[in-house]
Amino acid sequence: MSIKKNIELFIQDVQRICESCNRDSKDIIIVAVTKTVGIQEMKEAIECGLTDIGENRVQEMMEKIESFDESVNWHMIGHLQRNKVKYIIDRVSLIHSLDGVKLADEIQRQSLKQNKMTDVLIEVNIGNEDTKFGIKPDEVTSFARKITEYSNIRLRGLMTVAPFEAEPEKVRPLMKMMHQKYIELKLLNLENSLIDTLSMGMSNDYRIALEEGATMLRVGSLIFGERS
């Protein structure tokens, strides 16, 4: 199937699910995840109207950025090493993977240097998995309080990579818990924050994520085909 067809079907499905749970599909941002995907395929996706691109490696993002104009929003969705923050800070729209104070220190330092405000999400390890990065669910509130003390970092919400389940329905309880965390974070009304983003849902589980309140979906293989 073509990328164009994949995107059309995906957007139709998003609209259908939004209708079924009384949500406005205009409130949903689709991030096309393009790790290992070529420039040509990426341009095809952008021609279909997608504006947001997600990469999980700094090196790959840097190599690709040059081939696109300023209209593309770049999302860092993978684990971010401190020593690489400086390479992406002036181009990245949203860092999804803030998972520690030391990384926040470096994002603050580089943002101040560039005289910019950097938008971030706190990555939450919602399944408490040893193999995954992210803040433990019960530490989100205290971590969020720390993050909002940085002058050049603006907290926008939460992100999670749910455990992979062949039967996606199984992640629903965790996604409900994420949404609960997100609502709690909103209600804290922390200064220096604008809590409007819950980034969860991938090719395998975006339907459940939408039903449970995700505002941002990160979808790769469904659009571009399986990665080799």
Ligand X SMILES: *Cc1c(COP(=O)(O)O)cnc(C)c1O
- Nearest C-alpha neighbor of 82 from the set 60, 118, 62, 108: 108
Quick check: 108 binds ligand X (CB under 6 A)? no
Give the one residue of 14, 42, 61, 78 binding ligand X; rule: CB under 6 A: 78
Coil vs helix vs strand at 84: helix
What's the closest the beta carbon of residue 192 comes to ligand X, in angstroms? 25
Quick check: 94 binds ligand X (CB under 6 A)? no
Give the one residue of 33, 80, 89, 214 binding ligand X; rule: CB under 6 A: 33
Quick check: 98 binds ligand X (CB under 6 A)? no
Quick check: 56 binds ligand X (CB under 6 A)? yes
Q: Amino acid identity, residue 222? A: L
β-strand partners of 199: 159, 216
The region of 62-70, 139-147, 188-196, 215-223 touching ligand X under the rule CB under 6 A is 215-223
- For the chain, what is the radius of gyration of the CA atoms? 17
Query: Which residue is closest to ligand X by CB?
Result: 220
Quick check: 214 binds ligand X (CB under 6 A)? no
Which structure tokens are listed for 159?
């992100």
Quick check: 36 binds ligand X (CB under 6 A)? no
Q: By rule CB under 6 A, what string of x and - marks binding of each residue 152-171 to ligand X?
A: ---------x----------
The region of 13-21, 65-73, 109-117, 201-209 touching ligand X under the rule CB under 6 A is 201-209
The total number of residues written for the chain in this structure: 228
Rounded to 10°, the helix 39-47/3-20 angle is 50
Ramachandran bin of 192, using left for φ above 0, alpha for ψ from -120 to 50, beta for the remaining angles: left
